[in-house]
Amino acid sequence: MAAIIVISIGVLFNLFGCIGLLRLPDVYNRLQAATKCVTLGCCSILLGVFLHNGISAAGIKAIIAIPLLFFSATVAAHALVRGTYHFGVKMSDRSIKDDYKDAVK
């Protein structure tokens, strides 16, 4: 029962992440939604898998995947956003500040 609740929460957050991916204006904001919601959503799903299987081969693998997912998602987001900036993609009109411009001139 607890496993089903945790997996449902994970799917819900993944859905929010996808809505954010469609609605937000530019690639930087979209990455925010994609990183945070989708990472925690997947972690909840993995936790649900662990609760469902208990301490067995599948359960332990799900638990180990959580820190790996955290590190790879954050590093991937960082690499993507930096690469995007250097490629020259403009920030949306609603942006109010850009300190990075001076640093990479």
Partner 1 sequence: MRYLTFFILGLVFWLLLTFRISLPNVIVGSAASLICTLIFARYFFENTGKLINPRRWFWFLVYLAVFIWSCIKANFDVAYRVLHPRMPIKPGIVKVRTTLKSEFARMLLANSITMTPGTLTVDIIGDDFYIHWIFIRSQDPEIYTRMITGVFEKYIKNFVE
Binding mask 60-79 for partner 1 (x = CB under 8 A): xx--x-----xx--xx-xx-
Taking the complex as a whole, the smallest distance from the CB of residue 11 to partner 1 amounts, in Å, to 13
Amino acid identity of 72? S
Interface residues for partner 1 in 75-104 (CB under 8 A)? 75, 77-78, 81-82, 85, 91-92, 94-101, 103-104
Amino acid identity of 105? K
Measured CA to CA, the distance from residue 11 to residue 3 in angstroms comes to 12
Taking the complex as a whole, the smallest distance from the CB of residue 4 to partner 1 amounts, in Å, to 19
Measured CA to CA, the distance from residue 62 to residue 1 in angstroms comes to 18
